[in-house]
Amino acid sequence: MSRPDAAGHRAIGHTADVRIESWGPTRDAALAEAVTALADSYARWPTDAVPVKVVVEMAAGSDEELLVAVLDEAVFLADARGLVAVAARVAGGVATFACLPASTVDVVGACPKGVAWNDLVCAATDDGWRCAATIDV
């Protein structure tokens, strides 16, 4: 699939809950965009909000495993710590999540609970990288 150099994301229709897709010029950019795609699937937040940073070392081997690890961490932060990761930076196997307290975001959809391995994508394309994942809510 061809995508422009800029990073971006979207939601895709799937009857098993929620499917998200992201893309970017590099793997780490597409992974970071996937975190925003996840947040965008269920929350809205003020653009001027000041996030807190949460830094997590990712234990993952393959690109797909890294995608699951990054999204799982974002799910965990929201579900257990009440922190909605609205953006991220991924570099060198370390993810830095920009998080807003759940009390400061507007929850507009079903909240994510798990990341499925079915049809998981984290792969290079002709002009960048693409990620896609199905999220259980």
Partner 1 sequence: MLTLTEQTPYRWRVERCDGMRVPGIVFASRRLLPEPGDASLRQLANVAMLPGIVVASYAMPDVHWGYGFPIGGVAATDVARGGVGSPGGVGFDISCGVRLLLAPQEHDELRPHLGARMDALDRAVPRGLGTGGVWRLSGREELDDLLREGARYAVRRGHGVERDLDRCEDGALADADPREVSERALERGLGQVGSLGSGNHFLEVQVVDEVYDDARAAAFGLSVGRVCVMIHCGSRGLGHQVCTDHVKRMLAVMARYGITVPDKQLACAPVESAEGAAYLAAMAAAANYGRANRQLLSEAARGAWQAVLGTRELDLLYDVSHNLAKIETHDVDGRPRRLCVHRKGATLALPPHHPDLPADLASHGQPVLVPGSMGTASYVLSGVAAGPAFSSTCHGAGRVMSRHAAARRVDGRALRDALQAGGVAVRASSYRGLAEEAPESYKDVDEVVLTCEHAGLARRVARLRPIGVVKG
Between strands 52-57 and 94-101, the pairing is antiparallel
Q: Which residues contribute to the site for partner 1 (CB under 8 A)?
A: 11-19, 42-43, 68, 72, 75-76, 78-82, 84, 102, 106-111, 113-120, 134, 136-137
Minimum CB distance to partner 1 smaller for 29 or for 100: 100
Q: How far is CA 29 from CA 79, 100, 102, 125, in A?
A: 24, 20, 24, 13
Minimum CB distance to partner 1 smaller for 16 or for 91: 16
Minimum CB distance to partner 1 smaller for 91 or for 110: 110
User: What Rg value do the Cα atoms of the chain yield, rounded?
Assistant: 14
CB 79 within 8 Å of CB 113: yes
Residue 83 Cβ, how far from partner 1 at the closest point, in Å?
9
